[in-house]
Structure 1
Amino acid sequence: MIASALPAFLLTAFLIELTPGPNMAFLIMVSAIEGRKSGIAMTAGIALGLTIIGFGAVLGLAALISASPFLFQFLRWAGALYLVWLAAEAWISANEVSPSKVTTNHSNGQLFRRGLITNLLNPKAGLFFVAVLPGFTTPDLPVLPQAMTLTILYVAVATLIHLIIVMLAGQANSLVSSEPRKRFVRRFFAIMLLGIAIWFLAMSR
């Protein structure tokens, strides 16, 4: 590929990943309440989800989604309902006052799976690799190696931004160490996740 196109692609990836969305909101909540290790576990799931979507797009799976209104709508609603479910769980856990329940954090495996599922149920992520990424390739050269390289670079940029978010949010972990503060943060992000679910449906319409 033309090296001059890489800075523009990296800037595009950077700006897209800075846009508030499901990943950012949930990463902040998990890292602030459960600590940086939990946030890193979720970041790994997100990275795997983006990698699967990116390589799936390269192989034509995302093109199938964009060509099938039914499949796109299924993923769109499934993704929104999953966010609503996460919001409901965050709100319910905030209402739980039993010490045995309140002090229980999610396992790293659970958070890894949530990061993975959140991305796999996001059809807009796949459409980015179909609609935007090809514009940075050079038709005169083999497209497949270029697309795979750009996919890896995109995942790297996204993961770096997510890790920075985890590190910054993790600093707030000591500030929300008391249960009343944790309940407040859970309720705040439960409302935020619900709002993002509505925004997700509106923007992906």
Structure 2
Amino acid sequence: MGLTLANWSAFVLTCAAIELTPGPNMGYLAIVGAVDGRRSGYAAVAGVALGLALVGIAAALGLAAVINASPLLFQMLRWTGVAYLLWLAWDGWRDATEGVAAIPGGTTWLRYFRRGLITNLLNPKAAVFYVAMLPGFVVPGTAVLPQTLILSVTFVVIATAIHLSIVSLAGAARPVLEDPRRSRIVRRVLSVALALIALWFAVDTAT
């Protein structure tokens, strides 16, 4: 006997509650959706989803447990993630100051896809989530790998659905930002907000 419906349903509710709690992904995606539009936001969501999926596969194979057991590796990932978020904040401030040059659509999407992917690969909390949460929903005495993969896919689907909703709602504010002066002000404010998110992430992931 493998994963039960009761275990899976409880996991779904847990994931939804966790993903609806404000965090770095939610803040970053809301900023992208509001400032750069839904298409860029959706590209970032795709990158986030791939990052979460890769971390989930790594957790299923045991790599995440190694990261969780190594304080040095955890701290390296943690501070690299903080630095990357701060760089994104600086990049947004620079764009607001200098003006954003026109970039072909595909390049823009790839840019945000890559950022979403890197942000999650450098987030040690994602690995810790899989290591800390998944075992509690796995049925003991049965094949662990299939159950872990099912739960990982479930988490990615739920997270992606919530992230898409965030980008769609934030994108509704896009028409308000078409004025260059207003857009510049909002970009600077949101860049500061992203820097604060980075600092919050540093405190929240402290061990």
* 1:96-151 deviation line (CA, Å, top 9, x unaligned): 25xxx365587100100000000000001001000111101100221111100000
1:15 aligned onto 2:17: yes
1:166 aligned onto 2:162: no
Separation in structure 2 between the aligned mates of residue 192 and residue 18 of structure 1, nearest angstrom: 19
Q: 2:128 maps to which residue?
A: 127
Separation in structure 1 between the aligned mates of residue 17 and residue 192 of structure 2, nearest angstrom: 25
Separation in structure 2 between the aligned mates of residue 68 and residue 203 of structure 1, nearest angstrom: 18
Instruction: Read off the aligned partner of 1:125 and give its amino acid letter.
Output: A
Q: 2:201 maps to which residue?
A: 200
Instruction: Read off the aligned partner of 1:142 and give its amino acid letter.
Output: A
Gaps of 5+ in 1: none
Instruction: Read off the aligned partner of 2:202 and give its amino acid letter.
Output: L
Separation in structure 2 between the aligned mates of residue 34 and residue 195 of structure 1, nearest angstrom: 20
* 1:148-181 deviation line (CA, Å, top 9, x unaligned): 0000000000000011011111111111111122
Q: 2:191 maps to which residue?
A: 190
Residue 47 (structure 2) aligned to one of 33, 45, 48? 45
Q: Judging changes above 3 Å, is the alpha-carbon distance between structure 1 residues 185 and 103 closer, same or farther for their aligned structure 2 residues?
A: farther
Residue 90 (structure 1) aligned to one of 92, 95, 111? 92
Instruction: Read off the aligned partner of 2:160 and give its amino acid letter.
Output: T
Q: C-alpha displacement at 1:7, in angstroms?
A: 2.0
Q: Secondary structure at the match of 1:62?
A: helix
Q: 1:148 maps to which residue?
A: 149
Aligned length: 202
Separation in structure 1 between the aligned mates of residue 83 and residue 23 of structure 2, nearest angstrom: 15
- When the two structures are superposed, what TM-score results if normalisation uses the length of structure 2? 0.93
Instruction: Read off the aligned partner of 2:172 and give its amino acid letter.
Output: Q
Residue 77 (structure 1) aligned to one of 67, 76, 79? 79
Q: 2:112 maps to which residue?
A: 111
* 1:1-25 deviation line (CA, Å, top 9, x unaligned): 1211222211111111112222112
Q: Secondary structure at the match of 1:124?
A: helix
Separation in structure 1 between the aligned mates of residue 5 and residue 141 of structure 2, nearest angstrom: 14
Separation in structure 2 between the aligned mates of residue 202 and residue 118 of structure 1, nearest angstrom: 17
Q: Secondary structure at the match of 1:138?
A: coil
Is the Cα contact below 8 Å between 1:25 and 1:189 reproduced in 2?
A: no
Separation in structure 2 between the aligned mates of residue 24 and residue 184 of structure 1, nearest angstrom: 21
Instruction: Read off the aligned partner of 2:163 and give its amino acid letter.
Output: H
Separation in structure 2 between the aligned mates of residue 18 and residue 177 of structure 1, nearest angstrom: 29
Q: 1:26 maps to which residue?
A: 28
Mean Cα deviation higher: 178-187 or 58-67: 178-187
* 1:13-68 deviation line (CA, Å, top 9, x unaligned): 11111122221122111111221111111111000000000010110110010111
**RMSD of equivalent CA atoms:** 1.4
